[in-house]
Amino acid sequence: MEMLSFKNISVVYNEDVKESLAVAKQTQNILLSHGLDSVVTPSSQYDTLASLVITIGGDGTLLKAARFYAPKNVPIFGINLGRLGFLAQANIDEIEASVKKLVKQEYRIESRMMLSAYGDNVLALNDIVIKGDTFSRTSKLFLYINGKVVCDYLADGIIISTPTGSTAYTLSAGGPVMVPGLDAIVIVPICAHTLTARPLVIPADEEIKITSCNTCSRLKMSADGQDTIDISSDDCVVIKKSTTQAKLVILEKDGNDFYAILREKLQWGVAPERQA
């Protein structure tokens, strides 16, 4: 079992999330009460020496930290202040209990697949999305897998997602839910102008290439919905499974398996209650 190092704990808070700094300091005090030193830093100023990162905010805060710390092989533990917090492991009222579990080694470290584009210059834990840069026009996007033509989409965009990201934007666009441990990638068109365009699940070791047509407007590419870059309509974007993996700290507790989280967070398969 891979063990955490408590040598340099960084508590990262999101400056844009209300009360995140106060919760970060609360977390720091709880860690100190268990004999663990830590530093509190904003998400705009990461501690490069961190051996363990605790994020305070929503899933976006954790995703941003994962893109920075995954290449450094640093595990991440999330405390949720957002609405859903699908990746986070604790709410505010669970911080004390969670720290106790970390100290008692009641956790596991899960390696999660990431995607890369432009070499490893662009990394994503959830997804890479390519869209047109205007709201009023759709884009024509051509999909190649392992150098072979698959199809072309007239759509608002296309999502390339990891299993971790299958419960995020991909799910909203009609994609399938995938168990995080699967070694696969899902490709989902966004609002395609054809009834035959359906999500496609492929092995993770296959190479995806997306191009557009010269007459289309410029495109935008985003990683995890955050890092956005402009790409030319005649550019070619190659997306692969990255050799870098994110490390997420998962607590050993009841109701913390993937299927239980689906039921709790997304109300998966829960029948509506009868109204009186």
Q: Which residues are catalytic?
A: 59
Burial class, 253, CB count within 10 angstroms (exposed 0-12 / middle 13-18 / buried 19+): middle
| Cα–Cα separations (whole angstroms), residue 239 to 91, 198, 205 | 34, 19, 11
Q: What is the maximum span of the chain, computed from C-alpha positions, in angstroms?
A: 62
237 — phi, psi (to 5°)?
A: -105, 120
Strands (E), the chain: 9-13, 38-42, 52-57, 76-80, 107-117, 122-124, 127-132, 139-145, 148-155, 157-161, 184-190, 200-203, 208-212, 219-223, 227-231, 236-251
Which helix (H) or strand (E) covers residue 196, if one does? Answer: none
Distance in angstroms (rounded) separating the CA atoms of residues 59 and 268? 19
> Which DSSP state fits 64?
H
